[in-house]
Amino acid sequence: MIRMKRLPLDGVRIVDTSYVFAGPYAAGLLCDLGAEVIKIEGPSRPDQTRGGQAVVAPDDQHGSDPWNRTSSFNLANRGKKSLVLDLARKEGRDVLTDLIKTADVVLENFTPRVMRGWGLDYPNLQRLNPRIIMVSNTGYGHGGPYSSYPAQATTQEATHGLAAVTGYRGGTPSKAGQSFVDFLATWNCMTAILLGLRFRHRFGRGLWADVGMYQLGCFGVSEYVLDHIANGASGERLGNRHRQYAPQGCYRCDGKDAWCVISVRDDTEWQALCTVIERPELAHDPRYATTEARRLNHDAIDTIIGQWSATLTKIEAMERLQAAGVPAGAVLDGRDLNLDPQLNHRGLLEWVQFPPEREMGSRRLIIGRPWRFSKTAVKVRGPAPKFGEHNREVLRDILKYDDERIAALERDELVADKPKKMREMLSLTVEEQVKMGRLAYRDAEYKKRLGME
């Protein structure tokens, strides 16, 4: 690999006023690529991922500054600078306005009325800085009957239709996972920023990208939307099964809460599966000879496969099936992912050294980036910032404020380095969270497994 001295986004400054996950994570990934990202939070409005009801802190050490230790915040905001600024007051917004004049990108996820009410919507930002690129990530976009609605990914799975087709047959609608649409929004916000930079490079002016998470989620159910348009059909909940493939399911394996997912798409894969599970006679049994026949007798097939899979570990089952050309995947949990040889080979899991005053040592991030470049080695450039850690650096070095003005901002509590108000935080140990059902288990040897001892 050829190492380049400069990163792709060196010299690009992003003002990140977004909260929670989609916007912050997009900006964190762009920080990996070399951008200078300045994270804006309010003294009474810290990012929600700094607190909450299910806080995970390293080694259960919440310390005197638990808001700086939460796992989600440190993951999504790695490498950024922190400026804590009271945007509820005009004087605070004046500072933000000065900062935007120096920036290339503004990323925000307020409801549409907020930036407009502050006079910081795109028409006004364009007057301040004609080259500015603004990316707005809202629930329903700017404009339309839903635009004023606040939203989050967990509830949007219902409004964009995904929950209607997720769940077991005859059961209630279900969530697909952890904030599914946030991840879609992350990639789209990244793409919007990169396209905006390309647009500016070509035409010399900025643009506004209005990302509506509601629309992103609709892509996940596009086949159901088209089926209704073409055939008047309404999708149904099928659990782990498929409308075309059979058998398809999640099968219990040897071990506690161990599972392997299998999907057979055609007769060739069915014959291969029958060979692997040492039941070759099933390949010619008229009850299972065609895909349609297998769908009709799916319950019986599940029982047969389940008897076989229960004798193997999930990795053994996956590897035997894949070797025979049958699509299969073990259900990996957090420990599995940290120890997964493919992810380690790809370098997705990175070690980040925290400053000594954090008392956190070197920590591993689960999510790095899903891509690699041939000519430069991109990596996480540093830990997430402490609350207000870079107040003076941004005010002095970027905005060129003198000491007197900085002191006045601090005296008037327009900037801060400790939250005035936090979401309620439960300082529970991992063992306590396991007992409550928040977590599945704790691996007492995790440090040894990860090479930390």
Return the CATH number at 116: 3.40.50.10540
pLDDT higher for 452 or 92?
92
Residues 266, 408 within the same domain: no
In terms of Cβ atoms closer than 10 Å to its own Cβ (0-12, 13-18, 19+), residue 402 is exposed
The Cα–Cα gap between 249 and 264 comes to 9
> Do the domain assignments include residue 7?
no
Run of H or E including 192 = helix 180-203
Does residue 236 lie within any of the structural domains?
no
The H or E element containing residue 137 is: strand 133-138
pLDDT at 53: 57
Identify how many contiguous H helices and E strands the chain contains and give both numbers. 19, 11
- The pair phi, psi for residue 322, each rounded to 5°, is -65, -40
Q: Are residues 323 and 380 in the same domain?
A: no
**319 shares its domain with 377:** no
Confidence band (pLDDT; 50, 70, 90) for 429? confident
Q: Does 1 score more than 50 pLDDT? A: no
Strand (E) or helix (H) holding 82: strand 81-84
Three-class SS state of 280 = helix
Residues 355, 312, single domain; the answer is no
DSSP state, residue 404: H
d(CA 24, CA 75): 9
- The separation between the first and the last C-alpha atoms of the chain, rounded to the nearest angstrom, is 30
Same domain (yes/no): 25, 158? yes
| CB contact set of 87 (below 8 Å; sequence gap of 6+) | 17, 40, 42, 93, 96, 118
Q: Which two tokens stand for residue 413?
A: 């509590």
Burial class of residue 124, CB neighbours in 10 A (0-12, 13-18, 19+) = middle
Strand ranges of the sheet holding 248-252, from the earlier edge strand across to the other edge: 248-252, 259-263, 328-330
Indicate if 17 and 103 belong to the same structural domain: yes
Q: Which amino acid appears at position 444 of this protein?
A: A
Residue 407 lies in a domain: yes
6 within some domain: no
Asked whether residue 97 carries a pLDDT value surpassing 50, the answer given is: yes
State the total domains in the chain.
2
pLDDT (0 to 100) of residue 96: 98
Distance CA 211, CA 26 (A): 13
Region of poorest pLDDT, from 35-39, 188-192, 296-300, 372-376: 372-376
pLDDT category at 447 given cuts 50, 70, 90 is confident
Between strands 105-108 and 13-16, the pairing is: parallel
Give yes or no: residues 153 and 270 share one domain. Answer: no
Could you tell me if 161 and 25 lie in one domain?
A: yes
The pLDDT of 77-104, averaged and rounded, is 97
Same-domain status, 49 and 176: yes
Q: Which of 147-161, 291-305, 323-337 has the lowest mean pLDDT?
A: 147-161
Contact 348, 369 (CB under 8 A): yes
Give the ranges where 246-378 is alpha helix by DSSP (H).
267-276, 291-296, 298-309, 314-323, 334-339, 341-346
Residues linked to residue 54 through DSSP beta bridges, in sequence order: none
Give the residue from 330, 361, 391 where a domain finishes: 330
Q: For the domain that residue 309 is a member of, what is the CATH number?
A: 3.30.1540.10
- Of 287, 305, 330, the one marking the end of a domain is 330
Average pLDDT over residues 189-199: 97
**Predicted local confidence at residue 450, as pLDDT:** 82
| CA gap 71, 73 in Å, rounded | 6
pTM assigned to the model:
0.91
Query: Among all chains, which residue has been given the structure tokens 């440190």?
Result: 74
pLDDT for 2 = 46
The answer to whether residues 281 and 389 belong to one domain is: no
Burial code (b: 16+ CB inside 10 Å, e: under 16) for 151-173 equals bbbeebbebbbbbbbbbeeeeee
Torsion angle (degrees, nearest 10) of CA 129, 132, 137, 143: 60
pLDDT at 123: 96
Query: How distant, in Å, are the alpha carbons of 166, 254, 255 from that of 260?
Result: 19, 10, 11
Determine, yes or no, domain membership for 235: no
One domain for residues 33 and 86: yes
Q: Is residue 224, in this structure, part of any structural domain at all?
A: no
Count of Cβ atoms closer than 10 Å to residue 305 Cβ: 23
314 lies in the same domain as 370: no
pLDDT reported for residue 357 = 67
Long-range contacts (CB closer than 8 Å, 24 or more residues apart) made by 175-181: 176/220, 179/21, 179/152, 179/153, 179/154, 180/153, 180/217, 180/220, 181/22, 181/153, 181/156, 181/157, 181/213, 181/216, 181/217
pLDDT higher than threshold 80 for residue 177: no
Tell me how far apart the alpha carbons of residues 134 and 123 are, in angstroms, rounded to a whole number. Answer: 10
- What the block records as the tokens of 101 is 């004049």
Residue with tokens 């928040």: 438
280: pLDDT strictly greater than 70: yes
Could you tell me the residue range of the domain that residue 420 belongs to? 13-219+344-449
Report yes or no on 190 lying in a domain: yes
Enter the tokens of residue 416.
């801060």
CB contact set of 90 (below 8 Å; sequence gap of 6+): none
Distance set, CA 84 to CA 44, 49, 117, 399 (Å): 10, 15, 20, 14
Q: How far apart are CA 209 and CA 133, in angstroms?
A: 8
H or E segment to which residue 319 belongs: helix 314-323
Tell me which of 303, 330, 357 is where a domain ends: 330
Residue 209 in domain: yes
